[in-house]
Chains A and B, each alone.
Chain A
Amino acid sequence: MNTLYTIIGLFALGAIIGIYLLTLVLQDKETPKAAAFVHGLFVVPAVIMLIVYITKNTPSPVESLVLFIIAALGGLVLIYRDLTGKKIPKWLAVVHGLAAVAGFAFLLVFTFGH
């Protein structure tokens, strides 16, 4: 269970920065790249830890992982488009955030609902 708490903690930290980044994107403002990279530095280890947890435990929050992977793919597209000077689609930023929030909610339910 300690692993899940760590994963939740990392996702929560990532989410705080993610909300900040999303507010900038929705206002058509440039995002501070340190914030974008630190956001990734929190959530990437969390996703890896979640994958490891799921491979070793039953039952496991598979739905949560699927949603986080969708969010991660969206995040990769967002950072690629941002760094290469292409316009960031606001809808993609919102979907990226919503997928992550949904994954986080499934994870909380799984962790604290058992």
Chain B
Amino acid sequence: MKKTVSIWEATAQAGTSFPTLNGSKEADVVIIGGGISGLSTAMLLTEAGKKVILLEALQVGLGTTGNSTGNLYVTVDEHLSVIKKKWGADTMKAVVGSRTEALNLIEATIRKHDLDCNFYRTSFNYFAEGTDKEIDAFIKDETDALTECGVKVNTGTNPGLSFNVTNSISVEGQAQFHPLKYIRSLAGKLKDKCEIYENSQVIDFDEDKGIVKTKDGSVKAAHVIMATHTPKGVYMVQTVLGPYREHGVAAELLSGDMPQGIFWGMNKPKHSVRCFNDGDKKYVMVIGDMYKTGQGEDTNEYIKKLEEYLRFRFSIGAITHTWGGQQYRPADGLPYIGKHGDAMYFLTGFATDGLVYGTLAAMIVSDMILGRKNKWEDTYKLNRFTPLKSFKEFFKENADNFVQYLKDTPWNTDVDTLKEIPAGEGRVIEKHGEKLAVYKDEHGVNHVCSAVCTHMKCIVNWNPAEKTWDCPCHGSRFKTNGQVIEGPAVIDLPAKKF
């Protein structure tokens, strides 16, 4: 079994390698983050003649995009019926309209650049198992909402799944692709038009001067785009975002069938199921059972449950791939996209809908930089103040953060001695009043760094499934050596001696 490597990473050919930023550069626009948001923005701005430099901390596509579902759809994780109740019918229609344009842009990009990424149009399906009045009511509300948006809907029948389904909604004209192949081939097409740098983690930036610094270089630009899922640093927008994590599990289908399409199981906890054909191998995968980042009791348990979910419904072989993906859930149900200050742009709060929302954000932000009015920018504007729509989630997330701080008491640690840490595991330990994150590798060597998150000082927790240190407050994640993987933290966890 391959641990924590997504099926996309395992089945995509190596993409173009890009250099590390070295020295001082200047550009019209610097983009931080080489996922679908960053590369789509780079594509749109270079097409318009702008000089663009893109900085990726790790490798292009291997952040959130390469750990997603590869599903492209016009509805949303929050559900259209909920958006309508919160925001009204016009906003709901704007969501569907804007996401339709973004999905069409993805398809047009694939056609224009002849990107090999397994793209095809297919159906999106909600399905229910067993009788549940709440789900039946939801299906009715969602059907009405989709119909009001002009989307053709079929309801009631089993959409082709091999297990018993009691209720469903099907929407045609949606799409699936291989997200990492898309990103890597798009980056390859862009390599002669804009400068892309990998392994170029941003460690500092000057918001006012538009200067972004990495370990070995810097970029000065009139516009700085944070295409990093959540903005890097400490910002107010983070008080209206909840960081959550889901795992994915894939296995080869031994017998029976799994139709093409997007399938969202509406029984709680929610699951997203799809198949993927890699040559003559047919995989089925499930992603779901989300938990707040850094707060999963034992993240291996989530993977076990996902395996059970698949085995109960399909005839599968051994689990071939497991992975995890992060999402930032907006308090009022809509992403936050727009300008912050004089030079910065934030693209965040996409929940699980980031492939399409990321592309849409690229359209909006590139229009803003090019001085064009985008008809969707007001729907998703960054600086909106929506206390009535946000309060419940705002309170829940920030009260939870406060509780996490209150857990940071003196002497409150996972273990008291290094001997208690099993090989291949990590634990928080205290020495001379400092909390330390200690990972004991398979050879018994301890790797020690500070356990205090460099973003806003919460104590990180061990994620055994992915062997990372995850912050339970704002979702920053770190490698066992302390290097930032994702989240708002800019600085690595400092190395310490025990």
- Could you tell me which A residues sit within 8 Å of B by CB distance? 20, 24, 27, 29-30, 32-35, 37, 82-85
A33 near B454 with CB under 8 A, answer: no
A37 near B234 with CB under 8 A, answer: no
A34 near B457 with CB under 8 A, answer: no
Residues of B within 8 A of A37 (CB): 402, 405-406
B234 near A34 with CB under 8 A, answer: no
Majority-rule SS of A interface residues? helix
Closest chain-A Cβ to B494's Cβ sits at a distance in Å of 10
Residues of B within 8 A of A85 (CB): 234, 454-457, 491
A33 near B434 with CB under 8 A, answer: no
Closest A-B pairs by Cβ, 5 of them: A33-B405, A34-B409, A33-B408, A30-B452, A84-B234
| Cα separation A31 to B457 with both chains bound (whole Å) | 9
User: Which residue from B405, B450, B491 sits with its C-beta under 8 Å from A30?
Assistant: B450
Given A33-B458, A85-B491; 16 other pairs, CB 8 A cutoff: A29-B432, A29-B434, A30-B450, A30-B452, A32-B408, A32-B409, A32-B435, A33-B405, A33-B408, A33-B457, A34-B408, A83-B234, A85-B234, A85-B454, A85-B455, A85-B457
B433 near A84 with CB under 8 A, answer: no
Residues of B within 8 A of A82 (CB): 457
Closest chain-B Cβ to A94's Cβ sits at a distance in Å of 19
A-B contact count, CB below 8 Å?
Answer: 44
Residues of A within 8 A of B434 (CB): 29-30
**Known A-B contacts A29-B433, A29-B434, A30-B435; A84 and B408 likewise in contact (beta carbons under 8 Å):** no
Q: Is B407 an interface residue (CB 8 A)?
A: yes
Closest chain-A Cβ to B450's Cβ sits at a distance in Å of 7
B433 near A34 with CB under 8 A, answer: no
Residues of A within 8 A of B457 (CB): 30, 33, 82-83, 85
User: Which residue from A27, A29, A34, A84 sits with its C-beta under 8 Å from B407?
Assistant: A34
> When each residue 419-460 of chain B gets 1 if its CB lies under 8 Å from chain A and 0 otherwise, what string results?
000000000000011110000000000000010101111100
Residues of A within 8 A of B408 (CB): 32-34
Chosen A-B contacts, 18 in total, with CB atoms closer than 8 Å, are: A20-B410, A27-B433, A29-B432, A30-B434, A32-B409, A32-B410, A32-B412, A33-B406, A33-B457, A33-B458, A34-B412, A37-B406, A83-B234, A83-B456, A84-B456, A85-B455, A85-B457, A85-B491
Q: Nearest chain-B residue to A36 (Cβ)? A: B405
Q: Nearest chain-B residue to A23 (Cβ)? A: B433
> When each residue 456-473 of chain B gets 1 if its CB lies under 8 Å from chain A and 0 otherwise, what string results?
111000000000000000
| Cα separation A37 to B407 with both chains bound (whole Å) | 11
Majority-rule SS of B interface residues? loop
B409 near A35 with CB under 8 A, answer: yes
| Cα separation A85 to B456 with both chains bound (whole Å) | 6
Residues of A within 8 A of B402 (CB): 37
A35 near B450 with CB under 8 A, answer: no
| Cα separation A30 to B410 with both chains bound (whole Å) | 11
| Cα separation A23 to B256 with both chains bound (whole Å) | 66
Q: Nearest chain-A residue to B402 (Cβ)? A: A37
| Cα separation A82 to B454 with both chains bound (whole Å) | 10
Chain B CB within 10 A, most for which of A20, A35, A84, A85 = A85
| Cα separation A20 to B433 with both chains bound (whole Å) | 10
Residues of A within 8 A of B491 (CB): 85
Q: Nearest chain-A residue to B451 (Cβ)? A: A30
Closest chain-B Cβ to A93's Cβ sits at a distance in Å of 15
Closest chain-A Cβ to B176's Cβ sits at a distance in Å of 40
Residues of B within 8 A of A24 (CB): 433
Residues of A within 8 A of B450 (CB): 30
Closest chain-A Cβ to B126's Cβ sits at a distance in Å of 41
Residues of B within 8 A of A83 (CB): 234, 456-457
| Cα separation A108 to B456 with both chains bound (whole Å) | 37
Closest chain-B Cβ to A42's Cβ sits at a distance in Å of 14
| Cα separation A24 to B234 with both chains bound (whole Å) | 24
Q: Nearest chain-A residue to B408 (Cβ)? A: A33
Q: Nearest chain-B residue to A20 (Cβ)? A: B410
Residues of A within 8 A of B435 (CB): 30, 32
Q: In chain B, residues 362-418, which have Cβ atoms closer than 8 Å to a Cβ of chain A?
A: 402, 405-410, 412
| Cα separation A27 to B407 with both chains bound (whole Å) | 22
**Known A-B contacts A29-B434, A85-B456; A35 and B234 likewise in contact (beta carbons under 8 Å):** no
| Cα separation A32 to B457 with both chains bound (whole Å) | 9
Residues of B within 8 A of A32 (CB): 408-410, 412, 435
**Known A-B contacts A29-B434, A84-B234; A34 and B405 likewise in contact (beta carbons under 8 Å):** yes
| Cα separation A24 to B407 with both chains bound (whole Å) | 18
Closest chain-A Cβ to B409's Cβ sits at a distance in Å of 4
| Cα separation A29 to B432 with both chains bound (whole Å) | 9
| Cα separation A83 to B456 with both chains bound (whole Å) | 5
Q: Nearest chain-B residue to A24 (Cβ)? A: B433
Closest chain-B Cβ to A55's Cβ sits at a distance in Å of 30
Q: Nearest chain-B residue to A27 (Cβ)? A: B433
Closest chain-B Cβ to A49's Cβ sits at a distance in Å of 23
User: Which residue from B410, B452, B454 sits with its C-beta under 8 Å from A35?
Assistant: B410
Chain B CB within 10 A, most for which of A32, A35, A82 = A32
Q: Nearest chain-A residue to B403 (Cβ)? A: A34
Residues of A within 8 A of B409 (CB): 32, 34-35
Q: Nearest chain-B residue to A84 (Cβ)? A: B234
Residues of A within 8 A of B458 (CB): 33
Residues of B within 8 A of A20 (CB): 410
> When each residue 126-147 of chain B gets 1 if its CB lies under 8 Å from chain A and 0 otherwise, what string results?
0000000000000000000000
| Cα separation A20 to B455 with both chains bound (whole Å) | 23
Closest chain-A Cβ to B398's Cβ sits at a distance in Å of 13
A34 near B456 with CB under 8 A, answer: no
